[in-house]
Amino acid sequence: MDDVSDELNEFFKHSDVKNNTEYKKRILNTIKEIGLDTKEKFGLLVLLGYSSSKHEDYILTMSHSKNMFKDKRNIMDENSKDAIKKTMFYDGAILISKDGTIERSGVQLDIDLIKFLKAMKLNWDNDLASQLGFANPVSMRHLSGIASSLQFKGTTVFTRSEETGDIRAYEEGKIIFSTVPEEVTRIKGKGKSFVSGNQFKIKKWLEA
């Protein structure tokens, strides 16, 4: 699989959420490559850092037939992309534990979105998506993604837009990676902003 840019790699290394950097990169590459493999529209929500002891009370499996990972495998396995690809038309999230084990798919996350929005201290009279760092209006998948990254402590959450194919990653209620050029310039980590050069490299990564 093609690697992401060195700048993004370095950014992930300095993340306050201590999930394995290689797992984060592998998930981004997997989502990207599934998009390149198919002309079909699809959306995904992947949660890395899932812990049954911490998060199980907020997880609901609506249909066990949508769980493609009864025989658990690791995100670093060669066939992990093909397994995730089988879930692309299912609603619900894919859960990956801290050690990279893909635990379940097709699960519903019990997210208190109103509580999250209040915690972010947004101005309710202005556009909420924009205040959260989104360049354009977004669906519930992306709001759920950014909210769950705060509610589910110690997680990194990834989304792919069914409508646009945009890929994002979130930690602690913030966008930390995006393929949307306008959003890249807003991403900050440890005082370092992504610049236009990184926009170009992310574009190259998407096209690789």
- Between the alpha carbon of residue 2 and those of residues 6, 49, 86, 203, 207, the distances in Å are 12, 23, 21, 13, 10
Q: What confidence score (pLDDT) does residue 143 get?
A: 93
Q: What confidence score (pLDDT) does residue 196 get?
A: 45
Q: What confidence score (pLDDT) does residue 190 get?
A: 37
Residue 22: name the closest of 72, 84, 82, 74 by CA.
74
Residue 1 lies in a domain: no
Q: How many CB atoms lie within 10 A of CB 104?
A: 24
Q: What confidence score (pLDDT) does residue 56 get?
A: 83
Residue 131 lies in a domain: yes
Number of domains in the chain: 1
Q: What confidence score (pLDDT) does residue 32 get?
A: 92
Contact 34, 43 (CB under 8 A): no
Residue 133 lies in a domain: yes
Tokens of 35: 């998009």
Residue 79 lies in a domain: yes
Residue 154 C-beta-side C-alpha neighbours within 13 Å: 14
Q: What confidence score (pLDDT) does residue 77 get?
A: 92
Q: What confidence score (pLDDT) does residue 7 get?
A: 55
Tokens of 111: 């997210």
CATH code (residue 127): 3.40.1700.10
3-state secondary structure 131-158: HCCCCCCCCHHHHHHHHHHHHCCCCEEE
Q: What confidence score (pLDDT) does residue 182 get?
A: 83
Length of the chain in residues, anyone? Answer: 208
Q: What confidence score (pLDDT) does residue 194 get?
A: 42
Question: What residue ranges of the chain have pLDDT lower than 70?
Answer: 1-8, 10-11, 13-14, 62-70, 188-205, 207-208
User: Where in the sequence is the domain holding 52, given as residue range(s)?
Assistant: 6-207
Q: What confidence score (pLDDT) does residue 98 get?
A: 95
Residue 26 lies in a domain: yes
Q: What confidence score (pLDDT) does residue 195 get?
A: 42
